[in-house]
Structure 1
Amino acid sequence: MNDHRELFSDEAEHALLGAIMLDGELFDLITARVSTADFHDPENAALYQVMIDLHATGSPIDPVTLNDFKPYLPSGGATIAYAGELAKNTPSTANWKAYARIVADLAVLRRLVDAADAVRDSAGERRPVAEIIASAQQAMADLRDLDTGEPDYKRMGEVITRNIDLIDAKFSGAVQSGLSTGLTDLDRLIRGLRKKTVTIIAGLPGSGKTTLGLQIAQSIACTGAGVGMVFSLEMPEEELGNRALASIGSIDLRVLDSGQLHDDDWPRLTSAVKKIMDKPLYVSDKSGLTVPRIRNICRQVKRKHGLDVVVIDYIGLIGSDGKAFNRTSELGKISTGIVNIAKELDVPVILLAQLNRDSTKRPGKKPIASDLRDSGQIEADAHCIILVHRDMDSDDGQNGVTELIMPKCRHAPVGSCWVQQQGHFARFVDFVGREPNHDGDESSRPFAKRFSGVKEHV
């Protein structure tokens, strides 16, 4: 498209700038609706930014003060001459809302055209169709909240009114605080999986983080609590299926892999198939999925089946858009993108992550949040972090006793709990034995109370 005249209005931009100079009380109202980037003409955008910078100093805005603050605009023209001409020719400040609407709407249209041009360019580069669609949907998602007509704020009384209704519903049992993980002590620790949150489950390779993530989604789907979507960027779907059958049917995973089932395994297998066959648990084992592609798949599932929980295994295998400077920056962008998916789709997201091996070098070998590999942004973005710790140098660890350490949670006190890993069944179960002895450094932790294997830090 060579002619974009219909996608901007010099008259509206001029009138909006003039209105600010003629009525100082309009500044906050206009700047709340229109940004510098919304102006098409660079000269108008530059003058608008000068107005914003001048207002921040506490000075009034008129042609003289603007000129004193910045005598020349990018074109080299005098600020006082350009600003004075705009102020003189502004027909009326009473119509500022109409001017602001025109400027903002045309800015959105230009961005839509830019997004369409980008899609066309991608198509010309013969990129995969799925990748082009994901990019287009990402562009549309970026535009979705530009101008909804809704205010960007709410009176606290409105928020509290909704909270009271929700508290009452929880009290009566009509609504749960969050989805259950299927593990009693873990539920007590994290107080349920909440909508719009990201829970990081991290561990060393072989610690059981994949088992735990899959099991949570499986429990939610198979108990009728909701619809689960699992992204396995490393493990093929066939292995995910065998793990689900082993977990639900109490069948040794090695037997399923070999196909050498014993007589008593067959009824268990039949029972497991019945329990999972029609349940709303969906999987994708596509490798190298990017954040936009993950969002696209989640939106498909939500549109067709509903969606209540998403599990992604794991962040280190999520594909890059190629725009970051290094892998740490890349993972930071990915982490923030996953948080946006949780908010946009109104679901809890469980994001698996690797830990570095620093924890194995410290006394007690217990991991901490900063052991998350490659990016502190992951730790910062997470609403809740669960570190899977199984000390394989101890007898308890050899027997599957695993500690789930929660060093961060925005809706519950930090703490830890114990679970029993049954590796041959690819699952965790509630821990019913005696709590393992603590290491020397563990005894100094300020636990406020303990119950059913759960410890809370205050």
Structure 2
Amino acid sequence: MLTLDDVHPYLPSGERTMAFAGIIAKNTPSTANWKAYLRVVLERSALRRVVHAAEVIRDSASDDRPVAEIIALAQQATADLRDLDDGEPDYHSAADILPGVVSLIDAKYNGNAPRGLSTGLPDLDEIVRGLRKGNMIVVAGLTGSGKTILGLQVAQHVTTQLGGAGLVFSMEMTKEELITRGIASMGAVNLSRLDEGSTIQDDDWPKITGAVGKLQKARLYVNDQAGMTLARIRSIARQCQKHEGLDVIVVDYITLIASEGGGQNRTLEVGKISTGLKNLAKELQVPVIVLAQLNRGPTNRPDKKPRPSDLRDSGQIEQDADVVILVHCDKESEEGQNGATELIVGKCRHATPGSCMVQAQGHYVRFVPFAGKPPTEEQVEMGRVVRFSSREGRKDHE
């Protein structure tokens, strides 16, 4: 530019050559960002090929050809798209992964590694070691066992106590019902009084006010649309993560998610939905808590305890889950009638399965740490209650 300015200091328009050259340099993309520009070019090229493949499929469908031949042409057109390269490899060498893994191991050794999200129930946290990013956590139980209570309670704890953001998809209850339950749970206010209104007592109002204040500050978001599909759930979750941030998702419950294919085999459809929810957890890198129902198998056993294989509708749910928490309350026992509930962690990819006791406070729609008496040896042998750990036994006698 300096040489050109020496020879022709002015352009025919009268403008300074040096000034015009500066404008050109300013508006010319820098070679430092060549990778980003290359990605844009490759993406546009890929889109053109996608459009071309769609046109081939459309034109083939209009031809007077056998259906099998048209399907074969469509498959070939889409197969050609599988080799599209966006410039970044879809695989990673062990050498590239090792530094991060070793750093994490060292942080765990020194007690500096971040734990998974707390559920708000210490004994459950001790078993599952927190809710981890990218995991699908299935909470299952028979009707009325409290699986919805547990799922919502975790979302409330994350958003009101840990400062995180949570998104709840409820296809069974309205958003007003969910928030009313939140007020009852967090304020220790009898839910029936909140429903009736006229029976609210004077000392309930400060509790209600306190709970409302916490919920107003919480980044807790609710969707209560009926007939939600997996695609719609994914779209809303991505939107929420983009605008509000996202630390946990609760889906209540998997069987109520509508299928997109309109097929007749519900088992296969639920299996696809389950795999889709697991992929959503990995994609958004947040724990996804999926509520599910159990079949009636546990009621026919002497100990009445559920197993992961009792999950209703599809065995794929058990396969996809990273953690399976079974909510078990034996209503035929005196302890169960008084709210003693066992949380059975029947599957946990990163920890040893186990179980713990919690106390259901049905009028407050919440669980709290168990504070009852340890079971007798006879009760343990009957298999109707869990054997307490030494830590739990000590706590009960303090």
What band does the TM-score fall into relative to the shorter chain?
0.7 to 0.9
- Call closer, same or farther: CA 1:114–1:236 in 2, change over 3 Å: farther
3-state SS in 2 of match to 1:231: strand
Distance (whole Å) between structure 2 residues aligned to residue 115 and residue 396 of structure 1: 63
The residue number in structure 2 matching 1:389 is 328
Distance (whole Å) between structure 2 residues aligned to residue 161 and residue 362 of structure 1: 49
Task: Report the aligned-residue RMSD.
Answer: 3.0
Equivalent residue in structure 1 for 2:269, among 330, 350, 375:
330
Deviations 1:89-113 (A, max 9, x none): xxxxxxxxxxxxx999866644356
- Call closer, same or farther: CA 1:413–1:145 in 2, change over 3 Å: farther
Equivalent residue in structure 2 for 1:238, among 176, 183, 188:
176
Deviation at 1:223, TM superposition (A): 1.1
> Is the Cα–Cα contact under 8 Å of residues 353 and 373 in structure 1 kept in the other structure?
yes
The residue number in structure 2 matching 1:212 is 150
- Call closer, same or farther: CA 1:430–1:148 in 2, change over 3 Å: farther
- Call closer, same or farther: CA 1:155–1:342 in 2, change over 3 Å: same
Equivalent residue in structure 1 for 2:101, among 163, 171, 175:
163
> Is the Cα–Cα contact under 8 Å of residues 136 and 281 in structure 2 kept in the other structure?
yes
Distance (whole Å) between structure 2 residues aligned to residue 354 and residue 401 of structure 1: 20
Deviations 1:382-427 (A, max 9, x none): 0010000000001110111000011111001011111111010010
Distance (whole Å) between structure 1 residues aligned to residue 164 and residue 345 of structure 2: 25
Equivalent residue in structure 1 for 2:204, among 256, 261, 265:
265
- Call closer, same or farther: CA 1:233–1:117 in 2, change over 3 Å: farther
The residue number in structure 1 matching 2:14 is none
Deviation at 1:432, TM superposition (A): 1.9
Deviation at 1:226, TM superposition (A): 1.2
Equivalent residue in structure 2 for 1:359, among 276, 298, 304:
298
Equivalent residue in structure 1 for 2:185, among 247, 253, 275:
247
Unaligned runs of 5+ in 2: 1-40, 58-80, 394-398
> Is the Cα–Cα contact under 8 Å of residues 303 and 384 in structure 2 kept in the other structure?
no
Distance (whole Å) between structure 2 residues aligned to residue 285 and residue 418 of structure 1: 31
Distance (whole Å) between structure 1 residues aligned to residue 83 and residue 225 of structure 2: 30
Deviations 1:248-270 (A, max 9, x none): 10000000001131010001111
The residue number in structure 2 matching 1:452 is 392
The residue number in structure 1 matching 2:234 is 295
Deviations 1:77-133 (A, max 9, x none): xxxxxxxxxxxxxxxxxxxxxxxxx99986664435667999xxxxxxxxxxxxxxx
> Is the Cα–Cα contact under 8 Å of residues 180 and 194 in structure 2 kept in the other structure?
yes
Structure-to-structure mapping, 1:338-353, within 5 angstroms: 338-353=277-292
TM-score, length of structure 1 as denominator length = 0.66
- Call closer, same or farther: CA 1:248–1:113 in 2, change over 3 Å: farther
Unaligned runs of 5+ in 1: 1-101, 119-142, 454-458
State the number of aligned residues. 328
Deviations 1:46-96 (A, max 9, x none): xxxxxxxxxxxxxxxxxxxxxxxxxxxxxxxxxxxxxxxxxxxxxxxxxxx
- Call closer, same or farther: CA 1:304–1:444 in 2, change over 3 Å: closer
- Call closer, same or farther: CA 1:206–1:249 in 2, change over 3 Å: same
3-state SS in 2 of match to 1:189: helix
3-state SS in 1 of match to 2:267: helix
> Is the Cα–Cα contact under 8 Å of residues 170 and 177 in structure 1 kept in the other structure?
no
3-state SS in 1 of match to 2:119: coil
3-state SS in 1 of match to 2:217: coil
> Is the Cα–Cα contact under 8 Å of residues 388 and 404 in structure 1 kept in the other structure?
yes
Higher relative CO (CA 8 A, sep ≥ 6), structure 1 or 2? 2
Equivalent residue in structure 1 for 2:359, among 409, 420, 435:
420
Distance (whole Å) between structure 2 residues aligned to residue 115 and residue 224 of structure 1: 48
Deviation at 1:218, TM superposition (A): 0.5
Deviations 1:408-450 (A, max 9, x none): 11001011111111010010001122234545463999x8965
Distance (whole Å) between structure 2 residues aligned to residue 287 and residue 300 of structure 1: 19
Report whether the alignment pairs 1:150 with 2:150: no
Deviations 1:312-354 (A, max 9, x none): 0000000110254400000000001101110111110000000
The residue number in structure 2 matching 1:374 is 313
Most deviating of 199-208 and 151-160: 151-160
The residue number in structure 2 matching 1:408 is 347
Deviation at 1:293, TM superposition (A): 0.2
Aligned sequence identity (%): 54
The residue number in structure 2 matching 1:456 is none
